[in-house]
Amino acid sequence: MTRPTNLNLALLFTFLTTAALAQPDRWQQRVEYTMDIDMDVSAHQFKGKQKLVYYNNSPDTLTKVFYHLYFNAFQPGSSMDVRSRTIADPDRRVMDRIYHLKDDQIGYQKINGLKQDGKVLSYAVEGTVLEVNLAKPILPKSKVTFDMEFEAQVPLQIRRSGWANKEGVEYSMAQWYPKMAEYDYEGWHADPYVGREFYAPWGDFNVNITIDSAYMIGGSGYLQNPEQIGKGYAKPGTTIKRPKGGKLTWQFKAQNVHDFMWAADPDYLHDVAQVPGGPALHFFYQGDTLVENWKELQGIAVKAFDFLNKNFGKYPYDKFAVVQGGDGGMEYPMSTLITGHRSVRSLVGVTVHEALHSWYQGVLGTNESLYPWMDEGFTDYATQITMHYLFDGPSGGNYINPLEGSYRSYFSLAQSGLEEPMSTHSDHYNTNRAYGSAAYSKGAVSQHQLSYVIGHETFMRGLRRYFDTWKMKHPNMNDYIRIQEKNSGLELDWYYEYFVNSTKTIDYGIKSVEEQGEQTNVTLERIEKMPMPIELYLEYADGSKELFYIPLDLMRGVKEHDDPSIPRTILTDWPWTHPYYTFSIPKKPKDIRYMEIDPTQRMADTDRTNQSYPWRSAVEAEGEVVNK
Ligand SMILES: [Zn+2]
């Protein structure tokens, strides 16, 4: 063997880094939509032409395809209507409102013709799903072109989409076009729409919207003809050349997105704020009394995006639009619809949350029906970390758990008897509460708690590595676990088996503290079923501090130390089978001022009354502060 030259070393290095960062080879279907929409604002209807180039990148031959027709949900007797009228705790925005829609208020998408490469196709409409029999099978690694003519009526706004939202925004146009369902390694995902999740292939959208020239449009994509539109889109000083006639055609293009949202209102104001090294942020809001709040939002949103890019991976588009509309906050590629009558903090909170969906819903695109917690939970976790950074600042020595609200909500769910495993399909939870608390709160807790299990820095590095490795690939739960396992060098399958696939809970306590000669024997107890690695914080009478770390045998290793300012002593593993664990401290009990399991409170321990010694309330009364 020859001594490597510099060139060989460089090649070797390239090989090693390439191997370490190898991208998963999961195939993805691809779509290229071109749509021409002619909007009749007096009837809330539009006519559309859609050309869809569909790439079958799967190893399978397809004989059918499915489109979603989401507007059909807004008709009396639809699956969404009946689901809302029969579930124990309906969404207050929906209730029985669909049932009472009149003919000119319902939504629909009617297909007037569909061709595959010029051949007329037969199809059937089943509620919100269009089932299409292909004229010719689509072979693996081939593409076809579908040409569709359709017409639609925009529903009176009930949920997310529609005309006349409660703040008077005229059009919130989400899920407004016949949309190809996703086909992935698990097959077709043409779930009937009951008001929950969206899952679709990535691709390019060319959307031309012709509408009364009084309207301003905001939403996904980049406007291609700003010199004809103006309205805050053209560079300052541009001479606007409007075509003649009462309507304007807005030409938008969006690339590598899985959806396209737009909203329109004659009263929108339009501001743009640039994130240095990041996207241009566009704000569309009505010029009523809350202008000051929306102006203040803009500077904070710039700061927030900078934080998101550094901590969660780089936002891959050059634009993000915050658009007043919808019925709360809902994420779309390159944009969000939010209600606007809010305090500054609430505006920032919803904007940050919906923007963060660009990471977990827009770019990673997990199948939210199967893994709602990997979208809402991750988003909520990152939102609260970001809000903590934006508003709370240094905590002055007092430990603040930024996720405290999520923990409370999860504990409440766990005690309610309504909890179902987070592995439940989104549409099929028994109650909205079980879905919401699991997907958002327990989902967020699952991640903050994971930072306890593997260490905060390791966890954050893993979250970014997950984003970089799996973007545009629809990762599933195992894909994420494997990233965090490789990243931390620890085994984590047990963590998800308990916390995601079951409703088992965590409760650890200090069972006994006994003097034995010159030492103290401490016995800890696992009271509930889910095992965890344990951190036990101690303060001694002389003021010194120590952290005892008890690894869990299932993890086959030790996490990094989160806070090197406190010396850490690593004890022997606690086998998951053993309810008790005893160890000795070479000091007498009188020399121990305080001890507490899980001082950072990231472990979702359902009963914290048994976790400290002496009991916590007595220590707090003396004004002691657990420092971390
Ligand atoms: Zn969300």
Global pTM reads 0.93
Res. 18: pLDDT tops 60: no
Query: Which whole number is the average pLDDT over 158-183?
Result: 97
Q: How far is the CA of 531 from the centre of ligand 1 (A)?
A: 30
What is the pLDDT at residue 7?
A: 43
What is the pLDDT at residue 244?
A: 87
Within 10 Å of residue 168's Cβ, how many Cβ atoms? Answer: 12
Q: How far is the CA of 336 from the centre of ligand 1 (A)?
A: 10
Res. 223: pLDDT tops 60: yes
Q: How far is the CA of 437 from the centre of ligand 1 (A)?
A: 12
**Low-confidence winner among 149-163, 238-252, 415-429 (lowest mean pLDDT):** 238-252
Q: Categorise residue 374: left if φ over 0, alpha if ψ from -120 to 50, beta otherwise.
A: alpha
Q: How far is the CA of 332 from the centre of ligand 1 (A)?
A: 10
243 — pLDDT class (breaks 50, 70, 90): confident
What is the pLDDT at residue 21?
A: 52
What is the pLDDT at residue 396?
A: 55
What is the pLDDT at residue 398?
A: 61
Q: How far is the CA of 329 from the centre of ligand 1 (A)?
A: 7
Q: How far is the CA of 302 from the centre of ligand 1 (A)?
A: 20
Q: How far is the CA of 400 from the centre of ligand 1 (A)?
A: 23
Q: How far is the CA of 354 from the centre of ligand 1 (A)?
A: 6
Q: How far is the CA of 228 from the centre of ligand 1 (A)?
A: 35
24 — pLDDT class (breaks 50, 70, 90): confident
Q: How far is the CA of 403 from the centre of ligand 1 (A)?
A: 15
628 — pLDDT class (breaks 50, 70, 90): very low
Give the chain's mean pLDDT: 94
Q: How far is the CA of 357 from the centre of ligand 1 (A)?
A: 6
What is the pLDDT at residue 399?
A: 66
Q: How far is the CA of 333 from the centre of ligand 1 (A)?
A: 13
What is the pLDDT at residue 397?
A: 55
Q: How far is the CA of 351 from the centre of ligand 1 (A)?
A: 10
Give the Cα separation of 142 and 236 in Å (integer): 45
Q: Tell me: the pLDDT tens digits for 456-486?
A: 999 999 999 999 999 999 999 999 999 999 9
What is the pLDDT at residue 519?
A: 97
Q: How far is the CA of 358 from the centre of ligand 1 (A)?
A: 10
What is the pLDDT at residue 394?
A: 60
Q: How far is the CA of 498 from the centre of ligand 1 (A)?
A: 24
What is the pLDDT at residue 395?
A: 55
Q: How far is the CA of 440 from the centre of ligand 1 (A)?
A: 8
Are the CB atoms for 410 and 445 separated by under 8 Å? yes
Q: Tell me: the pLDDT tens digits for 500-553?
A: 999 999 999 999 999 999 999 999 999 999 999 999 999 999 999 999 999 999
Q: How far is the CA of 42 from the centre of ligand 1 (A)?
A: 33
Which residue carries 């504990």 as its tokens? 411
- On the question of a cis peptide bond just before residue 276, with omega within 30 degrees of 0, the verdict is no
Q: Tell me: the pLDDT tens digits for 49-61?
A: 999 999 999 999 9
Q: How far is the CA of 378 from the centre of ligand 1 (A)?
A: 9
DSSP 555-622: G-S-PPPS-TTS-EEE---B-TT-SEEEEEESS-GGGEEEEEE-TT--S-BS-GGGSEES-HHHHHHT
Query: Which whole number is the average pLDDT over 252-281?
Result: 98
Q: How far is the CA of 283 from the centre of ligand 1 (A)?
A: 19
Query: Which whole number is the average pLDDT over 231-244?
Result: 93
Q: How far is the CA of 381 from the centre of ligand 1 (A)?
A: 11
Q: How far is the CA of 377 from the centre of ligand 1 (A)?
A: 8
Give the Cα separation of 406 and 380 in Å (integer): 9
What is the pLDDT at residue 466?
A: 98
DSSP H or E stretch at residue 112: strand 108-116
Q: How far is the CA of 6 from the centre of ligand 1 (A)?
A: 50
Give the Cα separation of 304 and 111 in Å (integer): 42
The DSSP 8-state label assigned to residue 403 in this structure reads T
**What residues flank ion ligand 1 with Cβ within 5 A?**
376
CA distances from 20 to 16, 313, 569 (A): 6, 18, 32
DSSP 137-180: EE-TTEEEEEEEEEEEEPPBSSSSSEES-TT--SEEESS-S-EE
Res. 220: pLDDT tops 80: yes
**Low-confidence winner among 99-113, 206-220, 392-406, 414-428 (lowest mean pLDDT):** 392-406
What is the pLDDT at residue 549?
A: 98
Res. 335: pLDDT tops 90: yes
Query: Which whole number is the average pLDDT over 322-349?
Result: 97
Q: How far is the CA of 619 from the centre of ligand 1 (A)?
A: 39
Res. 20: pLDDT tops 50: no
- Give the three-class secondary structure for 239: coil
289 — pLDDT class (breaks 50, 70, 90): confident
DSSP H or E stretch at residue 298: helix 291-312
- For the record, the structure tokens of 465 come out as 């590595």
Q: Which residue has the higher pLDDT, 21 or 309?
A: 309
Res. 354: pLDDT tops 50: yes
Q: How far is the CA of 534 from the centre of ligand 1 (A)?
A: 32
What is the pLDDT at residue 288?
A: 81
Q: How far is the CA of 359 from the centre of ligand 1 (A)?
A: 11
Alpha helices by DSSP H, listed for 270-417, are 291-312, 344-357, 372, 378-387, 404-416
Q: How far is the CA of 350 from the centre of ligand 1 (A)?
A: 9
Give the Cα separation of 197 and 369 in Å (integer): 6
Q: How far is the CA of 396 from the centre of ligand 1 (A)?
A: 31
Q: How far is the CA of 198 from the centre of ligand 1 (A)?
A: 12
Query: Which whole number is the average pLDDT over 411-428?
Result: 98
Total residue length of the chain:
628
Q: How far is the CA of 289 from the centre of ligand 1 (A)?
A: 27
Are the CB atoms for 219 and 260 separated by under 8 Å? yes
Query: Which whole number is the average pLDDT over 582-590?
Result: 96
Are the CB atoms for 359 and 382 separated by under 8 Å? yes
Q: How far is the CA of 353 from the centre of ligand 1 (A)?
A: 6
624 — pLDDT class (breaks 50, 70, 90): very low
Res. 11: pLDDT tops 80: no
274 — pLDDT class (breaks 50, 70, 90): very high
> What percentage of the chain carries pLDDT values higher than 70?
93
Query: Which whole number is the average pLDDT over 321-343?
Result: 97
Q: How far is the CA of 187 from the centre of ligand 1 (A)?
A: 26
Q: Tell me: the pLDDT tens digits for 90-99?
A: 999 999 999 9
Query: Which whole number is the average pLDDT over 142-156?
Result: 98
329-332 vs 335-338, strand pairing mode:
antiparallel
DSSP H or E stretch at residue 52: strand 45-56
What is the pLDDT at residue 119?
A: 98
What is the pLDDT at residue 14?
A: 45
Are the CB atoms for 162 and 156 separated by under 8 Å? yes
Contacts of 489 (CB under 8 A, 6+ apart): 557
Q: How far is the CA of 610 from the centre of ligand 1 (A)?
A: 34
What is the pLDDT at residue 10?
A: 46
CA 173 to chain centre: 21
Q: How far is the CA of 518 from the centre of ligand 1 (A)?
A: 55
Query: Which whole number is the average pLDDT over 406-424?
Result: 98
Q: How far is the CA of 460 from the centre of ligand 1 (A)?
A: 20
Res. 350: pLDDT tops 50: yes
Q: Tell me: the pLDDT tens digits for 367-412?
A: 999 999 999 999 999 999 999 999 986 655 566 789 999 999 999 9
Q: How far is the CA of 250 from the centre of ligand 1 (A)?
A: 29
DSSP 537-553: EEEETTS-EEEEEE-BG
CA 187 to chain centre: 23
Query: Which whole number is the average pLDDT over 320-330?
Result: 97
152 — pLDDT class (breaks 50, 70, 90): very high
